[in-house]
Amino acid sequence: MNTDRQKSFIATIGTDFGLLNFLEVMHGERAISTPVRASGGFFTGRPQVRDDSHLLGLRSDVPINHMPRLMIYFRYSDNGYRLYIRTPGPYYGMCLSIDDNGLAGAFPADKSDIFYITRENGTPINLENLKNITPCIYLLPRESQALHAQIIRGSPYTYIAAKGGTAQTFNLNILERNVPYINHPDEV
């Protein structure tokens, strides 16, 4: 029986359809949006401005190798994975999670979600099933739908979301297997 460490790994993650990264990192500035939530009418109030800088997105207008791919520590626990950001920069050490709007982004580790790595048919897999170092996978947050690209009316960005879309294929490049927590390097 493998330990949680033996099922954990570090990999870069991306897509074949566009650059995958945090909106602030991809665009080189704070990602401010004014999503449209009202149906219109006489008075809908002042537009709500939101800072989406920490949210995960796609850019199809730039080459996928325009910048280094996201590096993620896939920490096995509770029959799934917590996804710790290991890319140097403003979100290092945070975790990928889903916000109240169903959008994926960088959040503190104490509020992190569990993700399942799945095959195209939705069957959960773990590191033992990933013999190839560059597999194509799907990510499914616990109690949600598979991650996918999402466009929000009134925002210039393409987001990664977990509600109501066609599952997005992600490709991994497994860099290291059997990886301990950074703060517990002697873990067995």
What's the pLDDT at 41?
52
* pLDDT, position 42: 55
64 touches 33 (CB < 8 A): no
Record the pTM: 0.89
* Residue that has been written with the tokens 């109690």 in this structure: 143
The whole-number pLDDT of residue 122 equals: 84
Supply φ then ψ for residue 132, to 5 degrees: -75, 140
Q: Would you call 100 exposed, middle or buried from its count of C-beta atoms within 10 A (0-12, 13-18, 19+)?
A: exposed
Residue 87 CA to residue 40 CA, distance in Å, equals 41
Rounded-to-integer distance, Cα 59 and Cα 87, Å = 18
pLDDT at 45: 62
Q: For residue 185, what are the contacts with CB-CB under 8 A and spacing of at least 6?
A: none
Task: Identify the architecture of domain 9-36+46-177 in CATH.
Answer: Trefoil (2.80)
The whole-number pLDDT of residue 176 equals 93
Dihedral of CA 23/25/28/32: which sign? positive
* Antiparallel, parallel or unpaired: β 70-77 and 80-85: antiparallel
Q: Residue 24: phi, psi to the nearest 5?
A: -60, -40
Q: Which residues contact 24 (CB under 8 A, 6 or more apart)?
A: 30, 31, 53, 54, 90
Whether 61 contacts 55, CB under 8 Å: no
Cβ atoms of 18 and 136 closer than 8 Å:
no
Task: Chunk the chain into consecutive blocks of 10 residues (it has 188) and report each block's average pLDDT, rounded to whole numbers.
Answer: 85 92 93 71 66 95 88 90 95 95 94 91 85 88 92 91 92 91 68
Compute CA distances 120 → 12, 49, 182, whole Å: 19, 36, 31
